[in-house]
Amino acid sequence: MRTSARLIVDSDGGIDDATALWWLCRNPDVDLVAVTAVGGSVPVAQAAINLRFILEAAGAGHVPVFPGRDQTAPAPPTRRPVMIHGHDGLADLARTRPVHAPEAGKSALDAFDELCQPGTSVLALGPMTNLAAGITSGALRADGATLTFMGGSARAGGNARPTAEANIAHDPSAADVVIRASWSAPPRMVGLDVTHRATLTKREFDDLATSRTPAAKFLAGRLAYYSRHAGMLCVPGETPCHDLFAAMVCADPTYFEAEVLDLQVDTGGGAAWGTTVVDLRPVARRAHGSASAGDGNATGEGAAVQVGLDADVDRFRATFRSFVTSPLPNTKGTN
């Protein structure tokens, strides 16, 4: 992302969302023009309040928050992740009331329609309910924008379901609509394959606990709560921060290694409902993008997506440490 690149973030207001937003607000290469709230880790009304609280604490109270939608389409059974995010989405810690309320009389669709200018980046950190509604209604013109989304899995299994990642499982039909839209470039999928590798370790948590920067003071207790259960599927002693890594990839794609692959979302209602099915077959990878593949077995029926398969783990951790220990906004040298 180049200097002052326009960004709209769609978020469900959880703890890793808060970490991502703090990092983005302190990044001078990002022009955060709006945040839209979606139901996911908490209902959408709570998410909108959380997002206002986060932005004001991060010194970005000027950024508007637009309420969006809760998922209403059929979806596989999932539970609110209370043990990871708390009942309120932010570890149930004491907080002040936001100075400003979310935008009154306007919705996430209004934000897309009014603020998603050509060249805008969209970062999806929760279920894609709002984005699908925007695409379907015409409020979100995907052909002039780029998309990075935290969600899915190519070969790392699931977390909310045996094979389905939480953001996709919460609204598979929406995810299907969004990845098939005519984005200006193949969307970037920052899934469990990379977020379960780009983790925080004891060193990062020690820096967080001892730092007295505003970011550390806001995040330390919340990430400590989050760390109790969020790393259950990671290397013991490590904790993912899914949305923070997705934000870093959105700002600078060199944080991960991706391959354009054919992707479908299972919307069929069975045991794999909500799974992102990525075609990793060598014959399909060779034929991808070829108009003369010839072999019907080589071509998929999904969308072309930049699927994250590896992460620059050391750089992610170093960036996190710099972010929480530096009293000044991030600079290009620390990204």
User: In this predicted model, what pLDDT tens digit does every residue of 48-99 receive, in sequence order?
Assistant: 999 999 999 999 999 999 999 998 889 999 989 999 999 999 999 999 999 9
Residues contacting 48, CB < 8 A, separation 6+:
13, 37, 65, 66, 67, 68, 102
Query: What sign for the dihedral angle of Cα 127, 130, 134, 137?
Result: positive
Q: What's the whole-number mean pLDDT along residues 181-197?
A: 98
Predicted pLDDT at 301: 81
- CA dist., res. 193 & res. 58, Å (int): 29
C-alpha triplet 290, 296, 301: angle, nearest 5°: 75
Are the C-beta atoms of residues 194 and 245 closer than 8 Å to each other? Answer: yes
For the cut 60, the answer to whether the pLDDT of residue 42 exceeds it is yes
Strands 146-150, 121-124: parallel, antiparallel or unpaired by DSSP?
Answer: parallel
Residue 4: pLDDT band with limits 50, 70, 90:
low
- Say what percent of the chain tops pLDDT 70: 92
Residue 331: pLDDT band with limits 50, 70, 90:
very low
| 321 alpha-carbon distance from chain centroid | 20
Residues contacting 293, CB < 8 A, separation 6+:
287, 299
CB atoms within 10 A of CB 289: 12
- CA dist., res. 261 & res. 273, Å (int): 20
Residue with tokens 């951790």: 317
- CA dist., res. 73 & res. 173, Å (int): 7
CB atoms within 10 A of CB 291: 5
Rounded to 10 deg, the angle between the 202-210 and 214-227 helix axes is: 140
Residue 299: pLDDT band with limits 50, 70, 90:
low
CB atoms within 10 A of CB 10: 30
Return the beta strands (E) in 134-229 as ranges: 146-150, 188-190, 199-200
Q: What's the whole-number mean pLDDT along residues 303-327?
A: 96
Considering the entire predicted model, what is its pTM? Answer: 0.94
Predicted pLDDT at 289: 56
CATH class of 5-290+297-334: alpha beta
Residue 147: pLDDT band with limits 50, 70, 90:
very high
